[in-house]
A and B are shown apart, each in its own frame.
Chain A
Amino acid sequence: MPTIAVVEDNADNRLLLQAILGDQYELVEYENGADALTGISGSRPDLVLLDISLPGMDGNEILKRIRQDSSLSALPVIALTAHAMAGDRERFLAAGFNDYVTKPIVDETLLTGAIERLLKQ
């Protein structure tokens, strides 16, 4: 079963993601960037779901450090974001994310489809 690292400080979002994804994937949860980077470095997941708006080290900084690590640089990373404005997709892709999903999640297939596509690559 593929492993997905979920980096999300909000408990109910983690609960929701577990409900949507837990039957198909093993989820490893982190509530902050420092723990996530340590954990991901120690045990590489198959994909990362990364909340953009984390307290302290935000998602963009975490992504930057993932991409700078030669052992992690090719890791698929999906941004979880509450911001969904024109141009956001291009900004996230330009920043190095592989895809993004907006919150609140209203269509789980957008999330599951993105994960499936990236894991096939």
Chain B
Amino acid sequence: MSGMHPVVDHNAIDRLRGFGGPKLVRGMIELFLSNAPIKAADAREALDCGDSAALRAALHGLKSSAGQLGAHSVYQACIAGEELASRGELTPCATHVERIEADLPRVSRELQAIQLEA
């Protein structure tokens, strides 16, 4: 873990703290930690089943909170994947779903640490 760059933009967290204090930060992180794994699993299932509408919905559901919390790699993967899924282009979506699956655990760990400090 040492030497690895953060996957959560702390400027985004500071911004949320400015909007609504530690309570908002904790609340939004709690929601993300509850929902993000489900949305990622939904995206994987939709991709594997070839369901572009379900994939688009899953990525859309994850995108907003990832963006608001500064999880930029997950956010960008959701944007790209949602756009492709909306056009029915499922094959290239795999890269973005894989990116989400790869980064989500570390994002979650960083957010959990932030939540404890908030």
Contact = CB atoms under 8 A, between A and B. Distances in A.
Interface residues of B, number: 23
B63 A12 contact: no
A82 B67 CA distance: 10
Nearest to B25: A19
Contacts of A106: 15
Contacts of B31: 11-12, 15
A108 B19 contact: yes
Given A19-B24, A55-B57, A13 B19 contact: no
Contacts of A82: 60, 63-64, 67, 79
Nearest to A55: B57
B65 A10 contact: yes
Contacts of B79: 82
Contacts of B20: 16, 19-20
A72 to B, nearest CB: 27
Interface of B: 12, 15-16, 19-21, 23-24, 27-28, 31-32, 35, 57, 60-61, 63-65, 67-68, 75, 79
